[in-house]
Amino acid sequence: MKIQKRTIFIPPLIVLIALSMLCCTPKEQVIFKGVKNIVVDLGSDGKPVLKGDVYFFNPNKLKMKLKDVDVVVLVDGAKSAEVKQHLNLPIPAQSDFSVPITATLTLKEGGLLNTVFGLLGGKKYEVVFTGYIRIGVHRISIKVPVSQKQEIKLR
């Protein structure tokens, strides 16, 4: 008899746990708002370093954590950098938040001489950010797509 009682109570317990997990997941995806404060400087090794702040909005009533940033940076159509950062940043509920990114650029297509002249002459580049961020809520992770296109001028 005890075995039968346990089998009767196990399915409702599983359903209750599943429902409680669904109640704690975000109702809406985090919204990608854009990339700002884009700066390209020369790093200590002489390679251009791209820095910027990626802005998002959390429309949910839940606090979350930003776990990963995985973004590919295309400069003038060529893959020039990849941002892979593993983070554990808190995301406040129903508010904007930003994530600082840093990537070393490899501008191979134009050659070193064209890159140097571009740096000195203030050449404009079309920069495209594509990829995703991973958000964590109560041990559940969600991917949020990132797609942004901007024109920047090296200084």
Per-residue pLDDT tens listing for the chain (155 residues): 555 554 455 566 565 555 555 455 566 777 777 778 878 788 787 777 778 888 888 888 888 888 998 888 787 787 877 888 888 889 898 999 888 888 777 656 554 445 555 555 567 778 788 888 888 877 778 887 878 787 776 55
Q: Which residues pair with 130 in a beta bridge?
A: 72, 147
As its CATH architecture, domain 27-153 has Sandwich (2.60)
Q: Which residues pair with 51 in a beta bridge?
A: 39, 102
CA distance 94 to 60: 5
Pinpoint the alpha helices (H) of the chain: 2-23, 111-121
3-state helix, strand, coil in the chain (%, to 5): 20, 55, 25
Query: What's the farthest any 2 CA atoms get from each other in the chain?
Result: 85
